[in-house]
A and B are shown apart, each in its own frame.
Chain A
Amino acid sequence: EAGVTQFPSHSVIEKGQTVTLRCDPISGHDNLYWYRRVMGKEIKFLLHFVKESKQDESGMPNNRFLAERTGGTYSTLKVQPAELEDSGVYFCASSQGGRELFFGSGTQLSVL
């Protein structure tokens, strides 16, 4: 069984540019989550999809962040325009039936 995959693994962009992160959850998992870890600190919740619907996006920092989940399959997280404080590791996780979360390897985003 393929795990959760994230693309790219690393992204280096300049302030003001746009970056799109992608997450492919485990097939059949209705729940998809985005998290962010900044400067080695705690893993902050960003948002939660159930299939294609946003169940909870209370953790999204501001309107520069836009998440979508096409047809309840893969998800994208776009940051536009990127700011320095957006740097960090963005994790995606999926689950089915409220059981354990399966995490991707993360995307290391560096905004210069």
Chain B
Amino acid sequence: AQRVTQPEKLLSVFKGAPVELKCNYSYSGSPELFWYVQYSRQRLQLLLRHISRESIKGFTADLNKGETSFHLKKPFAQEEDSAMYYCALRGPGPSYDKVIFGPGTSLSVIP
């Protein structure tokens, strides 16, 4: 069964420190991976997707099929990065466009 896990419920880092939010998935196939973010009082929104291989707001994520991971990284955390981060996957199958989410990690950047 497809599943997304995020081992850290809460993560606190100091401003300027590197940050890594972990995401692992299980899926019998080749899913498409995403990171969604919800800032305070805002809607859940897409941060980045693995197929675009781009850096958004200084964040990057590399899909590691061997380790079935899609960790989100940023070299220097900023206060405005404080938010709830969700890893998500979408995969082929009877419901190709079904997107499931991990439990989320709350990131707090300490000034």
Contact = CB atoms under 8 A, between A and B. Distances in A.
> Is chain B a partner of chain A in the same complex?
yes
Interface in B54-111: 86, 90, 94-104
A48 B43 contact: no
Contacts of B49: 100
B104 to A, nearest CB: 6
A90 interface: no
A42 B44 contact: no
Q: How extensive is the interface on chain B, given as a class?
A: 20 to 34
A33 B99 CA distance: 9
B46 A91 contact: no
Contacts of B103: 41-42
Contacts of A43: 44, 86, 101, 104
Interface in A80-112: 91, 93, 95, 98, 100-106
B68 to A, nearest CB: 18
A50 interface: yes
Interface core residue of B45, B99, B102 (most chain A CB under 10 Å): B99
Contacts of B104: 42-43
Given A43-B86, A100-B46, A103-B44, A48 B101 contact: no
A55 B95 CA distance: 7
Interface of A: 3, 31, 33, 35, 41-45, 48, 50, 55-56, 58, 91, 93, 95, 98, 100-106
Interface of B: 34, 36, 43-46, 49, 86, 90, 94-104
- Interface pairs A-B: 4 shortest CB-CB: A42-B103, A56-B95, A100-B46, A43-B101
